[in-house]
Structures are given as structure tokens and as C-alpha cells.
């Protein structure tokens, strides 16, 4: 059974600092991994999707890496801004199934 | 192309009543998923449906909960005889039929409060 963990649960940084968010998963038979952003009281916005055959994906200030052998993915956000304050969720999908297994999320606060 | 739509956005029910949550997937999407986010907890998978078929309901509580995705119309998540523990945000996601491992697109959620 796939388990996804995100540590830390909360993170506070000053504006301009780079953010590093960690996600670990127990089952290396992962087909892809997706990073989402959730604002308070809102739905989920997909940020990046990494296929198991890929090692990283980039979109603007965001970069996500995937290391299947160690069961880890990392989301980097460069030059953080107050607008980056949100909860960031990672979710893995098994090869055989289609449901997403979510981590508990990391709540990020970027202070101006 | 409108995104995934869910209604109502907020729903208040008293214990013992029924709650019906609706989800309209993105145009062209025939795969629908329901997830539940309990207060201070992460999102948990409930059920995966295609048109007129339940594919995976391994995350659905055995009693009081049911889901459908008819040939016409939205997907419905139905909770009978609600209890306070059912209070949560319920999210629907959809994906296209072309590749089963595609990105899932999420709706804004329905926040259910049981009094």
C-alpha cells in the first residue's frame, strides 16, 4: 500500500528565499507524481506532473525532481513571494491504479 | 473550456438528512474521481467512476455512501443519514479517456457541514 509523507507540515520563510518542499513515498512502483497548490477554502491547482521515466520538471520558478530509487520528490520554488503562501500537496499514482495517494501537505507562509 | 464544476459549494445538513453532491467533469472527460478532505487531514481517495461504471470504490465507506456517473448528467456522490463525522470538503476530479494516467483536474470542492 502506497504511503506518501510530507515533511515539514509547515514552513515559514522571508520573501526572496528559495523554498524546498519534500515528499517521500513508500512504493517505488510509482507511475507519476503530481504537485498541487491549495489555497485556504479553495480547490487544488495542479503545478507539475513528473512521469516515472523523468527526473525533473520545470515551470517558471518551480522545479520538481523525482528519485524513484530513494522514494523522494522535491519541489523547489525560487525567489519566493508572499503570493506563494499556500498549502502544497504531492500525490503519487501507482502503475496499476488510477487513484492519487496524497501526502498531508506542507503549509507555506512567505513573509514580506 | 470550463473547468470541473461542483455544486453546491457549501451544504449544511442536520444529522440524519441526505446530502447530494454534484460534479460536472471538464468537457471531453469521462473519468471522475471523488476525494474527501477531513478537517486538518489530507485528501483521501473515495471512488473512481467512468460513465455508468464504478471502477474503484476501495475508499468508500461501506455504509451510507454511494456514487454514480450516469450516461447523461453529472456525477453524484450521495451520503444518506449524515453524521457529524461526515463534515468535510469533498473534491471531484476528472481526466480525459485517452490515457488513464493523465493529470487529474480538480473542482473547487463542496464543503459539507453536518449540524
Identify from A5, A30, A98, A101 which residue to disrupt to test chain B contact, counting B C-beta atoms within 10 A and taking the largest count: A98
- Residue B99: closest C-alpha in chain A: A98
In chain B, positions 41-60, which contact chain A (CB-CB < 8 Å)? 41-45, 48, 55-56, 58-59
Is the Cβ of A40 closer than 8 Å to some Cβ of chain B? no
Cα separation values, B36 from A13, A19, A71, Å: 30, 28, 25
- Residue A93: closest C-alpha in chain B: B101
**The predicted structure's pLDDT at residue B1:** 55
The C-alpha atoms of residue B106 and residue B94 are separated, in whole angstroms, by: 7
- What number is the average pLDDT over the span A8-22? 95
| Mean pLDDT, chain B, whole residue set | 92
- HSE at residue A31, side-chain half, CA atoms within 13 A, is 14
The C-alpha atoms of residue B29 and residue B95 are separated, in whole angstroms, by: 5
Cell numbers describing residue B85: 463525522
- What number is the average pLDDT over the span B37-60? 91
- What number is the average pLDDT over the span A76-102? 89
Percent of chain B with pLDDT over 90: 75
Q: B114 and B83 in contact (C-beta within 8 Å)?
A: yes
Residue A103: list chain B partners with CB under 8 A: 42
The SS3 assignment for B102 reads coil
**The predicted structure's pLDDT at residue A85:** 97
pLDDT, one tens digit per residue, over A30-73 is: 888 999 999 988 889 999 999 888 899 999 999 999 998 999 99
Q: A82 and A112 in contact (C-beta within 8 Å)?
A: yes
Nearest CB to A100 within list B31, B45, B58:
B45
**The predicted structure's pLDDT at residue A30:** 85
**The predicted structure's pLDDT at residue B33:** 94
DSSP state of A55: S
Strand arrangement of the beta sheet that strand A72-77 belongs to:
A4-7, A19-25, A72-77, A62-67, A56-59
Q: A71 and A25 in contact (C-beta within 8 Å)?
A: yes
Amino acid at each position: 500500500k502506497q504511503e506518501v509523507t510530507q515533511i515539514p507540515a509547515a514552513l515559514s520563510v522571508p520573501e526572496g528565499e528559495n523554498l524546498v518542499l519534500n515528499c517521500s513515498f513508500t512504493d517505488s512502483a510509482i507511475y507519476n507524481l503530481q504537485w498541487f497548490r491549495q489555497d485556504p477554502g479553495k480547490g487544488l491547482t495542479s503545478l507539475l506532473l513528473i512521469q516515472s521515466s523523468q527526473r525533473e520538471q520545470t515551470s517558471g520558478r518551480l522545479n520538481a525532481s523525482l528519485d524513484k530509487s530513494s522514494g523522494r520528490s522535491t519541489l523547489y520554488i525560487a525567489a519566493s513571494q508572499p503570493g506563494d503562501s499556500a498549502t502544497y500537496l504531492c500525490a503519487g499514482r501507482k502503475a496499476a491504479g488510477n487513484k492519487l495517494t496524497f501526502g498531508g501537505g506542507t503549509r507555506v507562509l512567505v513573509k514580506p | 473550456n470550463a473547468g470541473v464544476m461542483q455544486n453546491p459549494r457549501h451544504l449544511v445538513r442536520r444529522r440524519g438528512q441526505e446530502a447530494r453532491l454534484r460534479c460536472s467533469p471538464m468537457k471531453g472527460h469521462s473519468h471522475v474521481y471523488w476525494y474527501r478532505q477531513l478537517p486538518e487531514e489530507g485528501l483521501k481517495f473515495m471512488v473512481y467512476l467512468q460513465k455508468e461504471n464504478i471502477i474503484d470504490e476501495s475508499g468508500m465507506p461501506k455504509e451510507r455512501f454511494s456514487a454514480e456517473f450516469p450516461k447523461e448528467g453529472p456525477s453524484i456522490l450521495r451520503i444518506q443519514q449524515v453524521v457529524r463525522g461526515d463534515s468535510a470538503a469533498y473534491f471531484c476530479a476528472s481526466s480525459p479517456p485517452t490515457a488513464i494516467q493523465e493529470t487529474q483536474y480538480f473542482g473547487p470542492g463542496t464543503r459539507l457541514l453536518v449540524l
